[in-house]
Amino acid sequence: MLDLNNIEEIKKADPSGYLPILKDTPNQIQKVWEQFTAQESQSMNFDKIIVCAMGGSAIGADMAKFLIEKYSQLPIQIVRDYNLPNWVDEKTLAIVISYSGNTEETLSGYVQARTKGAQIFCLGSGGKLIELAKENNDQYFILPPNMPPRTAWGHSFFVVLELLIKQGVLNSSDINLLEAIDVMNQAVNLYHEELNHDNNLAKHIASGLVNSIPVVFGAEHLSVVARRWKGEFNENTKIPSYFEEIPELNHNAQQGLECSTELKKTINILILKSNLYHPRNFKRSDIIRETFSKQGFDISIYEIDNDNYTGGICKGVILGDYVSVYLAFLLGHDPVPFTAIEELKGMLKTGEWVETIINS
């Protein structure tokens, strides 16, 4: 098995260069944020928000959703599907995000948003989405091209938040985006590949997950981080993984304690805990570990503490991204390719369907 203390072995295990992307994440997010901040935005009048996005393009909006619900009066819903809810109308801000610009579910949502008269903002690196935005005079912002879509999580996170700051929905002092950049830089310094195993939490966690199915628990602002970890284990590490939300899991997943010993041996549970949690969720985290551990599950708590929610989200994402990549190396996988997803798109004939929906 690969030695995570051997830099040369790590470089050979990373032929597509995922680690340099991770290390440059804070810098790239800051550049995009500054570019969008400098771009003029038209004022919009809306009383609710819908976001159309899938996969790695949706996760940044999920992170923003927590902060929007925390610090604004507006309802927001993330749609990961083809159809928008009936309540979408001309007083709705529809934020449409597709890194490639060609995601069929997202483009379906875009077409419906236009039909319903919603005010539209598009975010992507190109493709049909940006073509349509230009053609229809929608507001849009173009992301840097040629990145694995899931690595653009912070671009969409920061752009969505800054868009709503520009629109007067959020106060920049509540969101602390500049401080979040500093938090990410600190996290990269803690988890990058040149730090040896004994001093690198990400390498330590990855080493304990070999030949297991990670199940990630999180509450409040870290529930979306748990979802991000799950997605990164799927896409980067190429393994099954799942996430659960605290306290909801105590009303269903808790009963899974009674499964067979053989099944328990395949599962490794990671609890993400924060000093910012509601006191009851903070307590639940410890009780969950105690109850699952007593029943023979491999379960650990990892504290993602920070002074504010934005920084806590960013810190948790950086840690999870590094864990998934190191685990990919240990299992002999290049983190970048997503062949199975591309094969599925081919079977679905996504390109043909997109042309159909756009021209209908």
Domain 17-175, CATH: 3.40.50.10490
Exposure string of 275-301, with b = 16+ CB inside 10 Å and e = fewer, is: ebbeeebbebbeebbeebeeeebbbee
The tokens for 172 are 């920049």
- Catalytic residue list: 235, 251, 345
pLDDT at position 350: 82
| Nearest residue to 298 (alpha-carbon basis) of 263, 324, 323 | 263
Domain boundaries, the chain: 17-175, 179-330
Integer Cα distance of 293 and 284 in angstroms? 14
pLDDT at position 355: 83
| Nearest residue to 239 (alpha-carbon basis) of 251, 230, 247, 228 | 230
Please list, in sequence order, all residues whose beta carbon lies within 8 angstroms of the beta carbon of residue 32, skipping any fewer than 6 positions away.
143, 144, 154, 155, 158, 159
pLDDT at position 212: 97
Q: Do domains 17-175 and 179-330 have the same CATH topology?
A: yes
pLDDT at position 129: 97
Nearest 10 degrees: CA dihedral of 187, 334, 204, 309?
30
Contact 241, 229 (CB under 8 A): yes
Strand partners, 227: none
Model confidence, pTM: 0.96
pLDDT at position 174: 96
Integer Cα distance of 222 and 62 in angstroms? 11
Please list, in sequence order, all residues whose beta carbon lies within 8 angstroms of the beta carbon of residue 286, skipping any fewer than 6 positions away.
301
| Nearest residue to 144 (alpha-carbon basis) of 132, 156, 128, 129 | 156
Fold of 179-330: Rossmann fold (3.40.50)
Phi, psi of 138 (to 5 degrees): -85, 155
pLDDT at position 78: 98
Q: What is the mean pLDDT of each run of 10 residues along the chain (360 residues)?
A: 95 96 97 96 96 96 98 97 97 98 96 98 97 97 95 97 97 96 98 96 98 97 98 98 98 93 96 98 98 96 95 98 98 92 83 80
